Structure 1
Amino acid sequence: MNILLQATAQGPAGGMGGTLIMLIAIIAVFYFFMIRPQQKKQKELQKSREAMTTGDKVVTAGGIHGRIKEVGDTWFLVEIADGVRIKIEKTSVFQTTKDIAAQ
C-alpha cells in the first residue's frame, strides 16, 4: 500500500523527465546507427560518380554493364555493345567494375 501512495505522490511530472530522456536517447541511437552511416555512404557514392571518366567500366542500377564513352554534367554516354550507346543519368550508375573487383 505504501508503494502505491509513493507512486501517486510523484504524479505525472516525475515520470515525464524520464520519458523525455528515453525519447532523446532513442533518437540519438537511431541517428548514429542508421541516418549518419547512410549519409556517409551517399557522399562516398557521389564522390565516386564524380571521379568516373571516359573509358571506365560501369554497372547501372538496372544491371547494364558498359564502358563510359562521354561524360556530361548529369549524364554518361555508355557503350553497352559495339556501336550501341545509351545515355544514362549519373545517379543510375551503381558502381565501376574496378569497385566490383575490390569486393
Structure 2
Amino acid sequence: MHVLSILAAESSSSSGGAAIVQLGIFLLIPVAMYFLLIRPQRRRQREQAALQSGIDVGDEVMTTSGLYGFITGFDGDIVWLEIDDNVQIRVARAAVQRKVDTAMGETAVPSDDGSGKGPKIEPGLPAADDTTDN
C-alpha cells in the first residue's frame, strides 16, 4: 500500500502539460496507423477490384501463381484462360493479378527469335544449348 500512495502522490504532482503530450501521442498513433497501413491497403484493394472487373475476352493476363494466358471466357467468378494451343484452364477471377502489356515489350519468357515465345524445342531433339558430344 505504501508504494501505491507514493505513486499517487507523484502522479498528482506532475504537470498538466505532460498529460496533454501523452494524450496527443495516444491520439497520433491510430492516425499514423491509418495513413501508413490501412489507407494504402484499401487503395490497393480498389485498384485490384477495378482490374478484375475490367478484364475482357482476349486480354493477356498473369495469375497470382505466375501463369500467363489469354482470357477466352467467363463463367460467373470463373475465368477461362488459354495457356497454350488447345489448353484451357479455369481460375478464379480473384486469381488474376495483372494484365500483361505486350505493347510495352513485356513477355512471359525471354525470347531468342524476337517472337516473344522463347526458344522452340522439338520433342526428342536436344536443346540448342546442349553441347554434349555423343
TM-score by length of 1: 0.79
Larger Rg: 2
Which structure: greater strand fraction?
Answer: 1
SS, match of residue 19 in structure 1: helix
Give the length in aligned residue pairs. Answer: 98
The answer as to 2:83 corresponding to 1:80 is yes
Q: CA deviation at 1:100?
A: 9.4
Quote the offset at 1:14 in angstroms: 6.8
Whether 1:34 and 2:37 are equivalent positions in the alignment is yes
Instruction: Please give the alpha-carbon distance, in whole angstroms, between the structure 1 residues aligned to 2:60 and 2:95.
Output: 14
- Larger helix fraction of residues: 1
Give the deviation of 1:99 after TM superposition: 8.7
Q: How far is the alpha carbon of 1:18 from its aligned partner? A: 3.0
- Structure 1 gaps of 5+ residues are none
How is 1:44-63 mapped onto 2 (pairs within 5 angstroms)?
A: 44-63=47-66
In structure 1, give the amino acid aligned to 2:70: R
Once the two structures are superposed, what CA deviation does each residue of 1:12-49 show, in whole Å capped at 9, x if it has no partner? x8755432321110110111122101101110110111
Q: State yes or no: 1:97 paired with 2:100.
A: yes
What are the ranges of 5 or more consecutive residues in structure 2 without an aligned counterpart? 1-8, 107-134
Inter-partner Cα distance in structure 2 for 1:71 and 1:32: 37
Rounded to whole Å, the distance in 2 between the matches of 1:96 and 1:34 is: 26
- Does structure 1 residue 43 correspond to structure 2 residue 84? no
Q: Tell me the amino acid that sits aligned with residue 97 of structure 2.
A: F
- The percentage of aligned residue pairs carrying the same residue is 24
Secondary structure in 2 aligned to 1:43?
Answer: helix
Question: 2: distance between equivalents of 1:72 and 1:39?
Answer: 27
RMSD of aligned alpha carbons: 2.9
